[in-house]
Each structure stands twice: as C-alpha cells, then as structure tokens.
C-alpha cells in the first residue's frame, strides 16, 4: 500500500472506504472482506478504517446501505416520473430491463446483500428498508398487493436475467408486468 497522499481531513475518505468495501465484496464476497483488503483498495492507511468504523459489521452495514440507497434512488426516480398507470408499468419494465442497477457489479452486490442479511440482523434491516422504499415507490401507482408482486417480479427477473442464457426480453417482461397489474384490477 502506498499510504495515502490525501490528508487526514480528506472529506471523501469515508465514502471512498465504503466504495472500496463494495469493490472488495464484489470481487471476493462479503465473507472474505478484511480491513486490510479494503484499506488497500481505498488507498488509505489501515487505521483510517477503525477511525470511521468500530468493526467490520458496522463497515459492511454502511457499505450495503450505500448500495441500497444508490439503487433505490434510481428505482424511485423512474416511478416518480410516471404520471399515468401505463407510464408506471413502463417504469417497472425499465427497472427490470434497463440499467437501474447501474452495473452488473451492483446486481452482484445485491446478491451478497441478500446472503449476508440472512445471518446479520443489522444488515437485514438495510434490506428491509430497501424493500420498503421500493414498495413505497410502486404504491404511488399500484395497490399494496400489486406493488408487492411487482417488487418481487423486479427482483426475480433481475436475478434470473443475470444468469439466464436467454434472458426474458423487454416485450415479454412488459407482458408479464401488464398481466400482474391487470390481475389485480
């Protein structure tokens, strides 16, 4: 590690550490994250991590919170922009088929978040908050049961399409979204 030429008052250091933590999680998995790997990826002294984070649980919780907020903001913005039910349906299709996740890395990180959350109550709270935000965005346009079904559809299609050799295309996704919405109205 080169140490860091950035001074101790670096205002972006904490965010850089969190971004580096997400990079390390994406590369090695949450189970193999260490303070040393994160410090090297962030190009900060190892002691910087303990200055900002009491322990690894705190660091991972904050890193996963950062991921959830990033994706949730994109998700919510698409639904907020919708003015009609049809536009809301189109927004759901865009969330599934477009780049709401931003990158395949973020989708991979969401898998890590799910897996890590099953064993870590603090991180489970992050996951629940993300789900609540997604459903709240959907509930602006759809009844609660439809919002819940569409949220599960978004997650399911995103996961399946990331590994399927023949991902469900946009037209097929739109047909399924329409069927879910029509079924509940």
The model's pLDDT over 47-64, given as tens digits with 9 standing for 90+, comes to 999 999 999 999 999 999
pLDDT at residue 158, rounded to an integer: 87
Mean of pLDDT values over 142-166:
91
Cα R_g (the chain), whole angstroms: 19
For residue 136, name the pLDDT band (cuts at 50, 70, 90). Answer: very high
Closest CA to 110 of 26, 41, 20: 26
pLDDT at residue 1, rounded to an integer: 45
Query: How much of the chain, in percent, has pLDDT values that exceed 70?
Result: 94
For residue 148, name the pLDDT band (cuts at 50, 70, 90). Answer: very high
pLDDT at 29 over 80: yes
pLDDT at residue 103, rounded to an integer: 73
Q: Is 61 exposed, middle or buried (0-12, 13-18, 19+ CB in 10 A)?
A: buried
pLDDT at residue 87, rounded to an integer: 97
Closest CA to 88 of 38, 49, 139, 54: 139
Report the C-alpha gap between 7 and 171 in whole angstroms.
52
Helix, strand, or coil (residue 113): helix
pLDDT at residue 2, rounded to an integer: 45
pLDDT tens per residue, range 78-127: 999 999 999 999 999 999 998 877 678 888 898 899 899 998 898 899 99
Q: Tokens standing for 48?
A: 């910087």
Top pLDDT among 183 and 44 is at 44
């Amino acid at each position: 590690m080169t140490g860091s030429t950035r001074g101790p008052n670096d205002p972006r250091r904490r965010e850089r550490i969190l971004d580096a933590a997400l990079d390390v999680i994406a590369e090695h998995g949450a189970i193999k994250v260490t303070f040393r790997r994160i410090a090297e990826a962030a190009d900060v002294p190892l002691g910087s991590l303990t200055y900002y984070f009491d322990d690894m649980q705190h660091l991972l919780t904050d890193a996963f919170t950062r991921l959830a907020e990033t994706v949730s903001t994109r998700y919510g913005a698409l639904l907020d922009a919708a003015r009609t039910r049809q536009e809301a349906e189109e927004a759901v299709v865009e969330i599934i088929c477009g780049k709401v996740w931003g990158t395949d890395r973020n989708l991979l990180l969401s898998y890590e978040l799910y897996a890590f959350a099953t064993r870590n109550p603090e991180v489970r709270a992050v996951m629940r908050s993300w789900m609540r935000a997604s459903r709240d965005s959907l509930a602006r346009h759809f009844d609660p049961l439809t919002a819940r079904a569409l949220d599960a559809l978004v997650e399911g299609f995103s996961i399946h399409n990331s590994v399927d050799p023949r991902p469900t295309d946009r037209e097929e996704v739109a047909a399924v979204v329409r069927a879910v919405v029509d079924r509940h109205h």
